[in-house]
Amino acid sequence: MTAPRTATGGARHAVAGAVAAAVALGATELVAGALPAAPSLVQSVASVVIDLAPIGVVRAAIDTLGTRDKPVLVAGVVLLSLLFGAGLALAARRRRWVAVLGLVAFGVLGAWAGARPPGTAAWRPALAALAGVLAGVATLAALAWRSAGPAAEVTTLPGAPASTPGPAWKAAGGGAPSSDASGVPSALEVASRRSFLVGAGSLLAAGAAAAAGGRLLQSREQVSARRGVALPRLGETAGPAPGATDLDVPGLSPFITPTRDFYRVDTAIFPPGVDPRGWRLEIGGMVERPFQLSYEQLLAMPMEEHDVTLVCVSNEVGDRLSGNARWRGVRLDELLRRARPRAGASQLVGVSVDGFTTGFPTAMALDGRNALVAVAMNGEPLPDDHGFPARLVVPGVYGYASACKWLQEIRLDRLGFDPYWMERGWAAGGQMKTMARIDTPVVGRRLHAGKVPVAGVAWSHHVGISKVEAQIDSGPWMPARLGSGDPDTWRQWVVEWGAPAGAHTIRARATDGHGELQTAAAAESFPSGATGWHTIRVLVT
C-alpha cells in the first residue's frame, strides 16, 4: 500500500470507529428508553464521573458552568466515547478482535454504571449495553471491515462515475481507474469515498435518531407516571395572586419565578423519574412512631401554600441561583409531631431516592416557619427537575442543607451526621445570608443618559427585607421603592436614577426585617454562602 492510501484508510477507520461509538450509544439510549425504569447509560456514566471527580473539580465546574454543568458533562461523555471509538478502530485495523473487546469493555462500563444506584435491576442496563455493543460491532463491520478494497465498495454505488462529475473526477483524467503518481485520487477512490461517507453519515443519523427516540420514550414514561395526579384543592389560597405584586420594570425578575425559568441545581444528570405508584415517604430515624405515606396518602393530608424563595449556597454575589415560587404541600412540623422526635434528634435529614442527603437543625423545622413537604410548584405537580413527587422547602435555609428533591425519607438524626455537601466541606446549619441583587441595568448593555431604573430583588433568612438602598459612584445611598413580599420571599426593589453620561459604579445593599444591614464584607460562596454588596460598572452614553 502506498502512503497516501494508508492515510485515507486510517482516517476511514477513525471515522468508522467514531460512528460505531455513536451508533452504540444511540442503541443503548433506545433500549433503555423502551425498557421500563431502565437508566440511560450515558447519564449513568456521567453520574460516575460526578461521584468520582475530586470535589474541587465539581465545584469549579458548577462555578464556571452554573446550571449548564450537566449538558456539558453529558456532551463530554459522548465526545470521549466517539474519540474512544475512533482510537479503537485504528488500533483494530489488523486485529478486529481488539475492537470487539474494546466495545465489550465499553458496554461493561456502561452496564456497571447503570446498575450502580441501589435498587436498580441489573439486567436492564445490561440489556441496553448489549444492544450497544452489538450495534457498535455491526457498524464497524459495515463501515470498515466489509470491503476488501475500493473496487468492492464502488459496486455498492449505482451509477457512480456518471453521478460524480466533481473536480476530482475531472482531474483524474476522464476515468483513469487507478491513482496516478501525483496522488490525485482515481475515479474508483472518489466513488468509494462517497459511498463510505454516505454510509457513515446515514449510520450516524440513525444513531442520533435512536438516541432521540430513546430520550423521548424515557420522558414519555415519566410523563405517564405522573398522569392522573390530581392535586387536592385548597380551601383558601395563601398570598397574593401570582404577578399581582410585580413592580413593572423591564429586566427585573418577576416576583414569582415561572417554573421553566427556575434555576436547577443538583447532582443528578437527569432527574430520576420517580413512579409515584411505588413511591413511599418514610418519616423515621430517631422518632417514637415512624410511619410511611404513599403518594395518595400524602395528597390526602391538609395542604398549605406559601411563597418561598429558594437560594443555592453556591450563589455568588450577583448570581442568579435563586428563585421564588408558590409551593404547596404538607407542613413539615405536622409530620414531625405525628412521628414524635426523640430527645437528641437534633438534625432533620432529607434522603432522596438517588441517595443525596440534606440536613439542618430540627429546631428550625419546629419554630413555626412554613416548612413544607411540597408536592406542587406554581400550581402544578412538581416537575421532575424540581423534585417530583415530593421535596422539602424550608424558608431561610440554603438548598444544599434543606431542599431535598425526590424525597424518600425524612430521617431524624444527631448533628454528627454529615449530609452530602457537609461531607464535602460546606458549612453545617445552612442559614441563608441577606443579599440584594441588581437585575437591571445589565453590565455591558448600552445605556442612554436620562431616566434609568436601577432594580433588582433582595432576600433575607426568614426575617424578610425592610429596606434596600442603591448608591451611584460615591453619592448618597438612595432608598428603593419595595415590592410586596413576606419574610420568606425576596422583594423587588427599584430606584429611579437620572443617569448622566460617563462610566458609573452602582451598588446595592439590603437591610433585613430586624433592621440589620447586610454586611459589606465580601466572601465567596464556599463554605457558608457569599456575602458583600452587589456592585456593577456601567457606561452611559
Ligand X SMILES: Nc1nc2c(c(=O)[nH]1)N[C@H]1C(S)=C(S)[C@@H](COP(=O)(O)O)O[C@H]1N2
DSSP 288: S
CB of 335 to Mo ion, least distance (A): 23
DSSP 367: S
Residue 242 amino acid letter = P
**What span, in angstroms and rounded, lies between the C-alpha atoms of 123 and 114?**
10
Stretch that binds Mo ion, among 135-143, 210-218, 295-303, 397-405 (CB under 5 A): 397-405
CB of 367 to ligand X, least distance (A): 21
Could you tell me which residues come within 8 angstroms of residue 478 by beta carbon, excluding any fewer than 6 positions away? 469, 470, 471, 472, 495, 497
Taking CB atoms, the residue at the shortest distance from Mo ion is 312
Residue 154 contact, options ligand X, Mo ion, none, Cβ 5-8 Å cut-off depending on partner type: none
x-marked contacts with ligand X along 257-296 as a string, rule CB under 6 A = -----xxxxxxx----------------------------
Which of 73, 403, 410, 436: binder of ligand X (CB under 6 A)? 403
Stretch that binds ligand X, among 123-131, 189-197, 237-245, 402-410 (CB under 6 A): 402-410
Residue 282 contact, options ligand X, Mo ion, none, Cβ 5-8 Å cut-off depending on partner type: none
Taking CB atoms, the residue at the shortest distance from ligand X is 399
Is 265 a binding residue for Mo ion by CB under 5 A? The answer is yes
**What span, in angstroms and rounded, lies between the C-alpha atoms of 185 and 176?**
9
Is 466 a binding residue for ligand X by CB under 6 A? The answer is no
**What span, in angstroms and rounded, lies between the C-alpha atoms of 422 and 440?**
34
Cβ proximity to ligand X: between 268 and 494 the closer is: 268
Residue written as grid cell 437543625:
361
- R_g of the chain computed on alpha carbons: 29
Calculate helix-pair angle for 41-52, 96-115, nearest 10 degrees: 70
CB of 373 to ligand X, least distance (A): 13
x-marked contacts with ligand X along 48-87 as a string, rule CB under 6 A = ----------------------------------------
Is 405 a binding residue for ligand X by CB under 6 A? The answer is yes
Residue 493 contact, options ligand X, Mo ion, none, Cβ 5-8 Å cut-off depending on partner type: none
Cβ proximity to Mo ion: between 265 and 373 the closer is: 265
**Of residues 515, 491, 496, 497, the one with CA closest to residue 437:** 491
Q: Are 479 and 494 in contact (CB under 8 A)?
A: no
CB of 110 to ligand X, least distance (A): 23
x-marked contacts with ligand X along 353-372 as a string, rule CB under 6 A = -x-x----------------
**Of residues 448, 449, 494, the one with CA closest to residue 470:** 494
Is 312 a binding residue for Mo ion by CB under 5 A? The answer is yes
Q: Other C-beta atoms within 10 Å of 334: how many? A: 14
Cβ proximity to ligand X: between 403 and 454 the closer is: 403
Cβ proximity to Mo ion: between 222 and 431 the closer is: 431
Cβ proximity to Mo ion: between 66 and 85 the closer is: 66
Phi, psi for residue 354 in degrees, rounded to 5:
-95, 10
**Of residues 189, 196, 194, the one with CA closest to residue 16:** 196
Is 400 a binding residue for Mo ion by CB under 5 A? The answer is yes
Residue 406 contact, options Mo ion, ligand X, none, Cβ 5-8 Å cut-off depending on partner type: ligand X
Site size for ligand X, by CB under 6 A? 19
Q: Other C-beta atoms within 10 Å of 479: how many? A: 13
Residues 170-229 within binding reach of ligand X (CB under 6 A): none
Residue 7 amino acid letter = A
Q: Other C-beta atoms within 10 Å of 535: how many? A: 15
Is 352 a binding residue for ligand X by CB under 6 A? The answer is yes
**What span, in angstroms and rounded, lies between the C-alpha atoms of 312 and 399?**
5
**What span, in angstroms and rounded, lies between the C-alpha atoms of 529 and 153?**
63
**Full strand arrangement of the beta sheet holding 435-440:** 435-440, 450-459, 491-499, 481-482
Stretch that binds ligand X, among 38-46, 83-91, 150-158, 403-411 (CB under 6 A): 403-411
**What span, in angstroms and rounded, lies between the C-alpha atoms of 111 and 190?**
40
CB of 292 to ligand X, least distance (A): 19
Residue written as grid cell 449538558:
71
Phi-psi domain of 49 (left: phi exceeds 0; alpha: psi -120 through 50; beta: other): alpha
Which of 196, 400, 490, 493: binder of ligand X (CB under 6 A)? 400
Is 279 a binding residue for Mo ion by CB under 5 A? The answer is no
Residue 497 amino acid letter = W
Is 312 a binding residue for ligand X by CB under 6 A? The answer is yes
Please provide the DSSP assignment of 61-85 as one string. HHHHHGGGHHHHHHHHHHHHHHHHH
Which of 399, 419, 464, 532: binder of Mo ion (CB under 5 A)? 399
Is 387 a binding residue for Mo ion by CB under 5 A? The answer is no
- Contacting residues toward Mo ion, per CB under 5 A: 265, 312, 399-400
**What is the binding site for ligand X (CB under 6 A)?**
262-268, 310, 312, 352, 354, 356, 386, 399-400, 403-406
